[in-house]
Structure 1
Amino acid sequence: MITAKKSPLFESVFEKYLNPLLRRSFANVFGNGITPTPSKPAIFIANHSSWWDGLLFFFFNRTVWRHDIHMMMDEKGLKQYGFFRYLGAFSINRSKPKDILASLQYAEQLLLSGKTVVLFPQGDEFHQEVRPLGYSTGIAYLMERCPDMPVVPISFYYSFRHEKKPEVWVQQGEPFLYSSLPGTSRKEKTAAIEEAAIRQLDRLKSFVVAEETGAFRNFLRKGD
C-alpha cells in the first residue's frame, strides 16, 4: 500500500490554490449541519460520486472541522494524483485482500494516534443516484477495532439549477458510535450504516429538487 506523506506546508499552499478553484468551478457550495465535531479524532464517511469529493473534504476541514485528516483512496487514483499523499491520502487496493487488510490496519493506527480518517465505503465512484450504495464491510471492521471513535456521515449531491456552473450540496449528519448499530455481524452492521446513509442522501436530494436553500449556508460567499 501507499502511505500518506502529509505536509502542513503543502496543505497551506494547496488551500490557496483550492479556494479560487472551487469558486471558478461551482456556482454554490451549500452546506447544512457543517459544524465542528464533538470530539477528535473521528471517522468521516461519505457517498462517492465525484473526483471533487476528496477536495471538498479538504475544504471543509480547513474551513470548519480542523482535524488532522487522512483519507483512504483507491491505489490507482492515488498513483495518478500523487499530490493527495501530501494532503494525507493513503491507498487501498481492493483487488488484493491482503492489501485491504493492510490499509484498514493502517487506518486503525492513524485513529489510535489521534488522527481522523475519511472513508468512502462504496470503494469506487458511482453515480449519485445508484441505490443501494453498496458499502463494503471495511467500515464495520474499523469501527469494531475502534469502538469509541464517533462516525460522522457526510452526503454529497451535485446539481445544475439556474446558473452556468454546477453546485454541490453537502449534508453533515449526527455522529454515531459502534455500540448504537443494530445487528451482530459486520455485514448486518454495515447494512445499518448504509441504510442510514441512503436516508440522509435522499433527504438531501429532496432539498435540492425543491430548491430549499434556506437551511443551507453558501460556503463560497464570505460572511454567509
Structure 2
Amino acid sequence: MIRDRPIKQLKWFFTHIVEKAVLRRFAKISFLDNPVIDPEQACLVLMNHYSFNDGAILHRLNRLILRKQFRVMVVEDQLKAFIPLRYVGCFSVKKASREVIESLNYAAELLKAPGNMLGIYPQGEVYSQHLERIHFENGLSVILKRTSNIPFQVIFGVTLLDYLDSFKPHARVYLQQYTGERDLAKMESAYNEFYTTCKAKQRNLHNPPGRVLTEKQ
C-alpha cells in the first residue's frame, strides 16, 4: 500500500497550478444541489469514474464546498503512474492482493476524523459515463462494516458532460446526500436511482423535443 503524505507546498501547487491546468479543458464546472456539510462529521464521497479528470474535479469540489482534508483512494497502478498525488492526499488500493485489507482499514480509519473527506470511486476502475448503471465493488462493504458505529456523511456525486454550444465540455456535478442504510446493495441501488435522475436532467438540457426522449423519463 502506498500511503498519502500530504505536503503543504505541494498541496498549494496542485491547487493553483495542476487543478487549474487540468480543468482549463472545460468550459465550465458546475456543482449542483450542494448538500449542507456537517463540520462535526467526516464525508465519504462516492462518484462515478469516467476519466483522469475526476481527481481534479473532486479536489475542486472539496476545496469549494466540502472544505475537508482531501483523501482519495486510488488504484495502485494509477497512483504509481503519477506518484506526486500521494503528497496531495491520495493513497493506493491494490485489488486481489494481501494489501487490499490494509488499504480498506486505513480508509475506515480516515472516516473517524471529522476533518476528513474520503473520496472513493466505487466502480474501482475508469468506465464510460454512458453506462446505464454504476456498479459498486465489494471493497466498500468492508469500509462500511468497519465504520458501522461512526457518524459520517455520505455524499453521492455524478459527473456528466455536454458540449452543446461550446467548443469545450461543460461538466455538471450533481450532488446528493445519502441518509439511508449503510448496506452495499442498498447504497448501490440508491446511487443508481440518483444516477438515472441526473441523466434524465442532462438529456433535457436545451429543451429537446419530446419525441426524442425515452419513456423512462
- TM-score bucket of the superposed structures, by smaller chain: 0.7 to 0.9
Cα 1:200–1:212, aligned 2, differ >3 Å: closer, same or farther?
farther
Q: Counterpart of 2:191 in 1: which secondary structure?
A: helix
Cα 1:141–1:26, aligned 2, differ >3 Å: closer, same or farther?
same
Q: Tell me if the contact between 1:143 and 1:149 (Cα under 8 Å) persists in the aligned partners.
A: no
Distance, in Å, in 2 between the alignment partners of 1:50 and 1:2 is 21
Match of 1:106 in 2: 106
Residue 141 of structure 1 and its aligned partner are, at CA, apart by 2.0
Give the residue type in structure 1 aligned to 2:194.
Answer: Q
Match of 1:221 in 2: none
1:148-190 deviations in Å (ceiling 9; x for gaps): 222111111122211111121101102325xx24xxxxxxx21
Match of 2:162 in 1: 159
- Listed as ranges, the matches of 1:163-182 within 5 Å are 163-176=166-179, 180-181=181-182
Match of 1:208 in 2: 202
Distance, in Å, in 2 between the alignment partners of 1:70 and 1:20 is 19
Residue 201 of structure 1 and its aligned partner are, at CA, apart by 1.6
Number of residues of Structure 1 aligned to a counterpart in Structure 2: 203
Distance, in Å, in 1 between the alignment partners of 2:10 and 2:36 is 23
Q: Tell me if the contact between 2:62 and 2:117 (Cα under 8 Å) persists in the aligned partners.
A: no
1:195 to 189, 200, 213: 189
Matched, 1:86 2:93: no
Match of 2:66 in 1: 65
Q: Tell me if the contact between 2:22 and 2:56 (Cα under 8 Å) persists in the aligned partners.
A: no
Match of 1:74 in 2: 75
Q: Counterpart of 2:99 in 1: which secondary structure?
A: helix
Distance, in Å, in 1 between the alignment partners of 2:206 and 2:67 is 28
Once structures 1 and 2 are overlaid, which stretch shifts more, 17-26 or 203-212? Answer: 17-26
Structure 2 unpaired stretches of 5+: 208-217
Structure 1 unpaired stretches of 5+: 182-188, 214-224
Considering only aligned residues, what root-mean-square deviation do their CA atoms show, in Å?
Answer: 2.0
